[in-house]
Amino acid sequence: MASWGACRPGRHTGPVARRALLAALGIAIALVGCGGGGGDDSNREPKVAGNADPGDVRVIDAWVTALRRGDVDAAARYFAIPSVAENPPLLLHIRSLDDARRFNESLPCGARLVRAATQGQFTTATFRLTERPGPGVCGNGTGQTAKTSFVIRNGKIAEWRRVGQPGAQGAPSQSA
């Protein structure tokens, strides 16, 4: 049996040392796979109040996170083609990725998802508005809340409809 002293740089290791090294590497890989790494949180389960469908919440949270970070292209990819976006008084028919990109660019605020509830095909999300990188300026809307009802189909936003009081304090721009 080889001793630990036999594992010096430049020496060939025996089968026991190789097995120990492989076991240590396996443990290290398992630890990284269990959350030891950072960065990508796309598979995390968003924690928000409400009784919403978890799949809908994942899509809505991923969309609003991309928008809050100023990644309009990523936010646009969460929209089904075709889809609709209603930001009263406007009803937009999104027929291309460019349409989805323009709609997302028109939203002056970023937001954090704070509540979501599903009733029938609609999931209504409540957001706390934030500033975001990009062309819009949220201004005095920052910190206010806004509500949007979504229809999610096949992991994409098929309908995006602002709900609540149009023109309420802090409501995002209606210039979509």
Q: What tens digit of pLDDT does each residue of 76-121 get?
A: 999 999 999 999 999 999 999 999 999 999 999 999 999 999 999 9
What's the whole-model pTM score?
Answer: 0.70
Q: What integer is the mean pLDDT of 18-31?
A: 39
If one looks up domain 54-163 in CATH, what number appears?
A: 3.10.450.50
Split at pLDDT 50, 70, 90, the class of 17 is very low
Reply yes or no on whether the pLDDT at 126 is more than 60. Answer: yes
Question: How many CB atoms lie under 10 A from the CB of residue 132?
Answer: 24
Range with the largest mean pLDDT of 3-12, 19-28, 85-94: 85-94
**What is the model's pLDDT at position 44?**
60
List the single range of 32-41, 74-83, 125-134 with lowest mean pLDDT: 32-41
Angle at 123 between CA 46 and CA 61, to 5 degrees: 30
Split at pLDDT 50, 70, 90, the class of 137 is confident
**What is the model's pLDDT at position 76?**
98
CA 64 vs CA 26, 79, 119: distances in Å: 37, 12, 20
Reply yes or no on whether the pLDDT at 153 is more than 60. Answer: yes
Question: In the beta sheet, which residues pair with residue 157?
Answer: 79, 152
Reply yes or no on whether the pLDDT at 27 is more than 90. Answer: no
Q: What integer is the mean pLDDT of 26-41?
A: 37
**What is the model's pLDDT at position 32?**
35
Nearest to 110 by CA among 142, 86, 85, 79: 142
**What is the model's pLDDT at position 118?**
96
